[in-house]
Structure 1
Amino acid sequence: MSNGDANYGQSRLVTGDAVVLDLHPAGFASRMVAIFLDVTVQFVSLIAATVVVLRVSEGVDLALTAAIQLLLTVLILVGYPVAFETFTRGRSLGKLAMGLRVVGRDGSPVRFRQALARALTGVVEIWLASGVIALISSLLNREGRRVGDFLAGTVVVQERTGRRPGTLVEMPPAMAGWARNAELSRLPAETATMAHQYLTRYTELNEQTRYEMGVRLADTVTRYVAPPPPPQASPPEYLAAVLAERRRREEARLAQQRENRA
């Protein structure tokens, strides 16, 4: 690993409440390779699209041909990254190859508007400026964020290859019945990680931060989990129930796999 990658790897994402998230910002070298791969795919696509348009537009009005070419260019330069990052939760072909992912600054999955902001800015800082703006921006901050990341509130992280041991979150007895019937399959791993770190650092936070972060995380989790939690459940109890049940189901799935192989 290069020194640049090492320095970036030592960084951690920190929320506005000074809570450290176990997400490693991507190293400079791996991020540049991912950008190069994506740009190569887009450049080849542009050439192919141009050749096709020129061949099928013989005898067609030049204005119409130019409009079609412009539309294809926008789709390739903007539509490609937006579609990939939105539907693959922050990945593109280059990022897939390098094991990277775009996430929100709080570790949440990247959203359409964030992917769009990154793509539109990328046209300027990567294409029109030949990558110079993106390069300088990435070198000037420890998280390697380009201008598009600052505008979108995102960061490119190195996806973890394995689960690290940590404190297990226990099921609140009053929530066990609700949790067993809850639909948890849509919960993103990044959101679950944030909730786990909030619960394991709960006693280290002041009362106001506990409340504000708990409410915010619970609101985020409810977007992916159904049915809603019981009215009497506090945010920490709700988050603990979701994580404990999620772990129980995963352990049951793995146990079933081992039994089937036996």
Structure 2
Amino acid sequence: MTTTEHTGIITPEAVVLDVETAGFASRILAGVIDMAAIVISMALVGGIVSIILGGGDSTSQTVFAFTFFALIFGYPILFETFMRGRTPGKVALGLRAVTIDGAPIRLREATLRAMGGIVDRLLPPGGITGAIFVTITPRNQRVGDLIAGTIVIRDPVKFVPSPALWFSAPAGLETFAESIDPTAITVEQYTVIRSFLTRGATLSPEIRYALATDFADRLAATIRHQNHRAVQPEYFLICAMARYQRRFGPGRANSVAVS
């Protein structure tokens, strides 16, 4: 099975995002790359241990066994925690693990995913359990995903929605927009706010204003902007998106006005 599926994830702000979940083949290939990295690391450690302690004695066997379990658990936990849901294998295949509401995973989710990997990869027959769950679950989740409440998606950094949309600062707020530093804005925040701004017209005025205010307060806290309430919440978001796109770019796009 090589196909991927689209699924809707609902963020805590009640915005529905359409994402592409990683299919069976891409997850297997990513897993093979990660396992190869683990095996190479084990071989290097084994060689060093053999040189220092000699091979075959109980001490070297204990060190090797400890290294095996440390790598099996530590490798995914370390990379997924500090690389925001990615391992070298996922990076190579353009994949990312996120929570079911679209947020980046943290240490807790990465640890639970690694614990679920015992069932997915290590219990006999090796790897079959995880493959079966990825195939039969609606969101292509393995056991570790189900335990941690995560899904693996096509990385939005590499798979930018098409056509992309350019945001421009509202007339008269160009100088205000220049006061916004977009460096701390995450890909997840950009994706959620972009979705809200492009779909705001479908919301009732009350809900639209409430969501805009909530988004603006959260974003201002993230980027440490002290004067965001000097303009309307939605205008602040548009200015922030314009600055983000100017810095990082949304891909090929047409300029649009958001009302």
Query: Shift of residue 27 of structure 1?
Result: 1.7
How many residues were matched structurally? 246
Quickly say closer, same or farther: Cα 1:141–1:209, change in 2 above 3 A.
farther
Q: Which moved more, 1:99-108 or 1:233-242?
A: 233-242
- The answer to whether the 8 A contact 1:77-1:123 is kept is no
Q: Does 1:145 align with 2:141?
A: yes
Partner of 2:187: 189
TM-score normalised by L of structure 2: 0.77
- The answer to whether the 8 A contact 1:78-1:119 is kept is yes
Q: Aligned equivalents of 1:215 and 1:119: distance in 2?
A: 37
Q: Aligned equivalents of 1:115 and 1:217: distance in 2?
A: 26
- 1:217-256 correspondence to structure 2 within 5 Å: 217-218=215-216, 221-222=219-220, 224-233=222-231, 235-250=233-248
Quickly say closer, same or farther: Cα 1:238–1:65, change in 2 above 3 A.
farther
Q: Aligned equivalents of 1:12 and 1:59: distance in 2?
A: 51
Q: Aligned equivalents of 1:173 and 1:77: distance in 2?
A: 54
Q: Which moved more, 1:203-212 or 1:112-121?
A: 203-212
Q: Aligned equivalents of 2:28 and 2:37: distance in 1?
A: 14
Q: 1:41 aligns with which of 28, 37, 40?
A: 37
Greater share of strand: 2
Quickly say closer, same or farther: Cα 1:67–1:89, change in 2 above 3 A.
same
Counterpart residue type for residue 192 of structure 2: M
Q: Aligned equivalents of 1:27 and 1:238: distance in 2?
A: 37
Query: Shift of residue 183 of structure 1?
Result: 1.9
Query: Shift of residue 145 of structure 1?
Result: 1.3
Quickly say closer, same or farther: Cα 1:77–1:69, change in 2 above 3 A.
same
Q: Aligned equivalents of 1:65 and 1:196: distance in 2?
A: 54
Quickly say closer, same or farther: Cα 1:249–1:43, change in 2 above 3 A.
closer
Q: Does 1:83 align with 2:78?
A: yes
Quickly say closer, same or farther: Cα 1:189–1:44, change in 2 above 3 A.
same
Query: Shift of residue 84 of structure 1?
Result: 1.9
Q: Does 1:200 align with 2:195?
A: no
Q: Aligned equivalents of 1:219 and 1:151: distance in 2?
A: 32
Q: Does 1:115 align with 2:110?
A: yes
Secondary structure of the structure 2 residue equivalent to 1:185: helix
Q: Aligned equivalents of 1:219 and 1:60: distance in 2?
A: 61
Partner of 2:28: 32
Q: Which moved more, 1:35-44 or 1:226-235?
A: 226-235
Secondary structure of the structure 2 residue equivalent to 1:142: coil
Q: Aligned equivalents of 1:5 and 1:61: distance in 2?
A: 46
- The answer to whether the 8 A contact 2:168-2:238 is kept is yes
TM-score normalised by L of structure 1: 0.76
Deviations 1:109-168 (A, max 9, x none): 332322222122213321234223211221122321112222323221123445522454
Q: 1:23 aligns with which of 19, 44, 57?
A: 19
Q: Aligned equivalents of 2:246 and 2:66: distance in 1?
A: 49
Q: 1:74 aligns with which of 56, 64, 69?
A: 69
Partner of 2:87: 92
Counterpart residue type for residue 242 of structure 2: A
Percent of aligned pairs with the same residue?
30
- The answer to whether the 8 A contact 1:82-1:112 is kept is yes
- The answer to whether the 8 A contact 2:49-2:55 is kept is no
- The answer to whether the 8 A contact 2:120-2:128 is kept is yes
- The answer to whether the 8 A contact 2:30-2:93 is kept is yes
Query: Shift of residue 83 of structure 1?
Result: 2.1
Query: Shift of residue 79 of structure 1?
Result: 1.7
Partner of 1:258: none
CA RMSD of aligned residues (A): 3.3
Quickly say closer, same or farther: Cα 1:101–1:180, change in 2 above 3 A.
same
- The answer to whether the 8 A contact 2:220-2:228 is kept is no
